[in-house]
Every structure is written in structure tokens, then in C-alpha cells.
């Protein structure tokens, strides 16, 4: 089932009109109408919020098979065989382990992408207040309807407002590799969803991961993997997008 059909289906199941749904997302009713008629797609950052509002996971939102029923059936069988007290203890232990694993994975992911950012963009990072990451690679390979709309992944850093941040902004301003005039903002090259970040950012830098070339749009035969950095001064945010361009 397409994303447009999923949004429409679950919006109605939650007894929300298009106008109510739009107001909760701070978008126009016309935007919701376009999503539901497959004339446009929601912004990347809205997907988790849409899923939460519709009481479903992102996987369910994009149409993956729902495994909730089978999970519920397994839980009913367990409840019949194990006393409720043991179930409560086991559930608490599992929940603790799950939270710890999520926390650990979050730290490891943050460090991994931080190293990657420093390596390819040659920047000294300011103090980081928070880190968020969204990976679309797995389901983009299965959902052909999205085409060249979303990148493979997007992650961003929100920086603390201190002297290191001022030094970071000064470095970008002085660097020969960063700046609006050096970017090619054509949807023919970048995934469509990236364009609004290009339009609202102050500094940009594009890196070809294989060749390490900066702001070079030449493509080699095969799959070309790119990383794009977009920095917004007022929001203190550095966005990193990863996407591929294939030449057959």
C-alpha cells in the first residue's frame, strides 16, 4: 500500500479530518490533500510525527506488513503458561535491556557519524547539544514510488551556543569549500526533499565519498555516493544527507 493510501486510511481510523490533521502538523489542508492523492510527499522530518499521530510505526506508515497480530497471539499463549508475576518481572527486565540497548546504540551511532562528518568535511565540530538520525535506505529499496524524492539517510547536530560555535561559523565563512555560490541546487542532482534545506541554509559543502572531491558534480560509471552538509546559523544545526547517483 502506498504512503498516500496509508495516511488517508489511518487518518480516517483516528477520526481526524484533513483540516484537524493538518493543524496538528502545522501544515495546510492542501498539503494533506496532496499527500493523500499522491501529488507530493511529506517532509522527511514530519514522517515520525505523522506516524506517532496516527498511532502506527514508520514501517506501517510506508506500507510494510503489520506483524502486530502475530505478536499479540504469542503474548496470549505466554500468559496462559506463565504466572502473571513472572511475566511482569520478565517484562521489566526485557524493557530495561531494550532501553539500555537503544541508549547504547544511540551513543555508538552518534560517535560513528561524528567521525564520518569530521573525516569528509574536514571541520572541527563545536560542542554538540543533541544528535538525531533517520535512515531511509532499507525501505527506499522496496518502495519504488518514492523515486528520487528522499535521500538514503539524514542526520543532524544541534550545537551549543558558545565560543566554539562562533569559531565554527567563522571557519565555514573563511573556507573555500563552503558557501551558497558553490552549490548546484537543481533537483536533477539532489533528491527533491533536500532542496528546502539548501534553500534555508547558510553554508553548504558536497563531498564525493569515493573520490573525496569537494563540490564536484561529475559522475563516474556505476554508483556514486555523496554526502551533503547544510549548516543553518540561526538554528545552530548542521544537516548531513547521504544519497547515491547511478550511471549505467
Whether pLDDT at 80 is above 70: no
Phi-psi region of 179 (alpha: psi -120 to 50; beta: other; left: phi over 0): left
Can you point out the beta strands (E) in the chain?
Answer: 128-135, 153-159, 203-208, 222-232, 237-247
> Pick from 207, 237, 213, 203: which is nearest to 116 by CA?
207
Residue 58, Cβ density class (10 Å: 0-12 exposed, 13-18 middle, ≥19 buried): middle
φ, ψ of residue 232 to 5 degrees: the values are -110, 115
* Residue 142 banded pLDDT, cuts 50, 70, 90: very low
Q: What is the mean pLDDT of residues 78-93?
A: 66
DSSP-derived secondary structure letter, 149:
S
Q: Which residues contact 35 (CB under 8 A, 6 or more apart)?
A: 3, 4, 7, 41, 42
Determine if residue 156 is left, alpha or beta; phi over 0 gives left, psi from -120 to 50 gives alpha, anything else beta. Answer: beta
Give the predicted TM-score (pTM) of the model: 0.61
pLDDT reading at 110 higher than 90: no
SS3 83: coil
- Which residue, 20, 106, 109, 9, is CA-closest to 56? 9
Taking alpha carbons only, the member of 158, 242, 159 closest to residue 193 is: 242
Question: Quick one: 215 exposed, middle or buried, by C-beta within 10 A (0-12, 13-18, 19+)?
Answer: middle
Strand partners, 241: 154, 228
Domain boundaries, the chain: 3-68, 110-247
Note the CATH architecture for domain 3-68. Orthogonal Bundle (1.10)
Q: Is the per-residue pLDDT at 75 higher than 70?
A: no
Longest CA–CA span in the chain (Å) reads 68
pLDDT classification of 143: cutoffs 50, 70, 90 = very low
Amino acid at each position: 500500500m502506498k504512503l498516500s493510501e496509508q495516511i488517508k486510511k489511518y487518518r480516517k481510523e483516528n477520526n481526524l479530518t484533513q483540516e484537524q490533521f493538518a493543524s496538528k502538523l502545522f501544515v495546510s489542508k492542501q498539503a494533506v490533500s496532496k499527500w493523500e492523492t499522491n501529488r507530493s510527499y511529506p517532509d522527511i522530518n514530519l514522517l515520525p510525527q505523522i506516524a506517532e499521530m496516527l498511532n502506527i510505526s514508520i514501517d506501517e506508515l510506508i506500507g510494510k506488513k503489520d506483524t502486530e497480530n502475530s505478536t499479540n497471539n504469542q503474548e496470549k499463549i505466554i500468559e496462559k503458561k506463565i504466572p502473571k508475576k513472572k511475566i511482569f518481572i520478565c517484562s521489566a527486565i526485557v524493557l530495561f535491556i531494550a532501553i539500555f540497548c537503544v541508549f547504547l546504540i544511540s551513543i555508538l551511532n552518534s560517535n560513528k557519524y561524528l567521525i564520518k562528518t569530521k573525516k569528509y568535511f574536514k571541520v572541527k565540530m563545536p560542542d554538540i547539544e543533541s544528535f538525531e538520525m533517520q535512515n531511509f535506505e532499507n525501505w527506499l529499496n522496496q518502495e519504488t514510488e518514492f523515486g528520487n524524492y528522499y535521500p538514503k539517510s539524514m542526520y543532524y547536530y544541534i550545537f551549543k551556543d558558545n565560543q566554539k560555535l562562533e569559531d565554527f561559523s567563522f571557519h565555514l565563512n573563511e573556507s573555500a569549500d563552503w558557501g551558497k555560490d558553490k552549490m548546484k541546487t537543481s533537483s536533477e542532482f539532489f533528491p527533491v526533499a533536500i532542496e528546502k534545506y539548501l534553500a534555508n541554509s547558510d553554508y553548504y559543502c558536497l563531498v564525493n565519498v569515493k573520490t573525496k572531491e569537494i563540490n564536484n558534480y561529475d559522475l563516474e560509471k556505476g554508483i556514486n555516493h555523496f554526502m551533503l552538509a547544510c549548516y543553518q546559523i540561526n538554528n545552530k544545526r548542521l544537516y548531513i544527507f547521504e544519497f547515491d547517483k547511478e550511471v549505467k
